Structure 1
Amino acid sequence: MKDNILQWFQEGNITFPGALLANYKKMNIDETELVLLLQVHSFIEKGNGFPTPNDISSRMTISVPQCNDMLRKLIQKGLIEIQDGHGADGIRFEKYSLIPLWNKLIENFLLTLKGKDMEKKQREESDVYSTFEQEFGRPLSPFECETLAMWMDDDRHDPIIIKSALREAVVSGKLNFRYIDRILFEWKKNGIKTIEQAKSYGRKFRQFQTQQRVKIDEEKTQTPSVPFYNWLDHKS
């Protein structure tokens, strides 16, 4: 993913100035360093890959010695590097590269994204606990909390699927952890990963149970209007 984002930077799909302006503070870059980096980027875009401190200083409010010192510090901080190049005539030249800065921008972006994913996961997991307590009408016991954690961390069940299994248990009138665990086991074994798949799988078993009841008790005038599948009695 990191390589893809770097390529997007290089191809111009992500604007470097915009990304830098939004994230420079998080990267411990001050405003003067920010402007200098943007100036270097501007020179590179216009074909001057190695602007002198005098070139850069002429566009800023800092002196040439200050610019020279700041360029050295940015190189030491790993934000700029000097690369060797060769022209069509074979003459060697030097140029600035901002790829180290792009890489740091990408790392910062990925860390932010990871943090958001963690926050989302924590919210979803917290919502699972709250939903279970609402349905059970009481706080969960330590064992039940441990079981929920095991379903999410060890068995890798999506919180949405766990809540779907809970709803299945409620509809079936079998509100207990053993029944829900059996549902999750059957769903995982049969590759059920979405709510739609879970609903479809449940409907099929209910239809099967309806057919079985009709065969067993043909004398009854009608079958239960809402037949339920007993997950604990299912034999795989």
Structure 2
Amino acid sequence: MKENILKWVQEGQISFPSVLLTHYKQMNINEEELVLLLHVMAFIEKGNAFPTPTEISARMTVSSTKCSDLLRRLIQKGLITIEEEYSESGIRYEKYSIEPLWSKLINQFLMSENKQQTQNQEKMEMDLYTIFEQEFGRPLSPFECETLTLWLDDDRHEPIIIKAALREAVISGKLNFRYIDRILFEWKKNGIKTIEQAKSYGNKFRQYQNHQQKGQAGEQTTRSEAVPFYNWLEQ
């Protein structure tokens, strides 16, 4: 994923100034260094890949000497590098590369995203325990808490799917962990991964169940192998 983002940046498909403004503090970049970096990026975009400290200073409120110091610090921090290249005529020239900056920025961005996802996941899991206790009308037992943990960690069920299975148990009037576990097992076996799929699966089963009940009111019918839904809602 990181390689793809870096390629998009290099090709100009993604512009990162706003992301840089959001994360520069976490990357140990101060405001003077940030402004200088933005100017270097602007020079590169205009075709000047190796602006002098004097050229950069003309756009800032600091001296060329200060710009030299800032450039040196950015190189020491590994945010920019000076590369040597050759023109088609064989003339050697130098240029600034901001690829190290993008690489570090993408790392910081992905780290922040992962941290936020982890926090969101932890919140959803805590909410899950609260919802179960509300539905059961009591605190969960140690065994029930362990079962919830197994569903999340071992079986890799998403919290939203576990909530859907809980709702299915409530609708069916069979509110117990064994029943919910059987629903989750059946859903996983049939590739149910979204709320929409879970609702559709439950609705189709109830339609089938109602049809069966109506048929039993008339005469005893034999069970056909063509029945599309396993009776996972029967204990």
2:137 aligns with: 137
1:108 aligns with: 108
Equivalent pairs counted in the alignment come to 225
Q: Normalised by the size of structure 1, how large is the TM-score?
A: 0.85
The residue identity in structure 2 corresponding to 1:14 is I
SS at match of 2:94: strand
Cα distance change of structure 1 residues 51 and 219 upon mapping to structure 2, 3 Å threshold: closer
5+ long unaligned stretches in structure 1: 221-228
1:161 aligns with: 161
Cα distance change of structure 1 residues 21 and 197 upon mapping to structure 2, 3 Å threshold: closer
2:147 aligns with: 147
The residue identity in structure 2 corresponding to 1:188 is K
Q: Normalised by the size of structure 2, how large is the TM-score?
A: 0.86
Identity over aligned pairs, percent: 64
Give the deviation of 1:231 after TM superposition.
Answer: 2.5
1:81 aligns with: 81
2:226 aligns with: none
Q: State the distance in 2 between where 1:54 and 1:10 align.
A: 27
Give the deviation of 1:21 after TM superposition.
Answer: 2.4
Q: State the distance in 2 between where 1:83 and 1:44 align.
A: 13
1:15 aligns with: 15
8 Å CA contact 2:186–2:232 kept in 1: the answer is no
> Which segments of structure 1 move beyond 6 Å, counting only runs of 4 or more?
none
8 Å CA contact 1:50–1:95 kept in 2: the answer is yes
1:6 aligns with: 6
Cα distance change of structure 1 residues 57 and 122 upon mapping to structure 2, 3 Å threshold: same
Give the deviation of 1:208 after TM superposition.
Answer: 3.6
Cα distance change of structure 1 residues 211 and 66 upon mapping to structure 2, 3 Å threshold: closer
Q: State the distance in 2 between where 1:208 and 1:58 align.
A: 77
Counterpart mapping for 1:196-235 below 5 A: 196-218=196-218, 231-233=233-235
8 Å CA contact 2:182–2:232 kept in 1: the answer is no
5+ long unaligned stretches in structure 2: 221-230
RMSD: 2.2
Q: Could you list the per-position Cα deviations for residues 78-136 of structure 1 after superposition, in whole angstroms to 9, with x for gaps in the alignment?
A: 00001111112111111100111111111111112112211221222122111111110
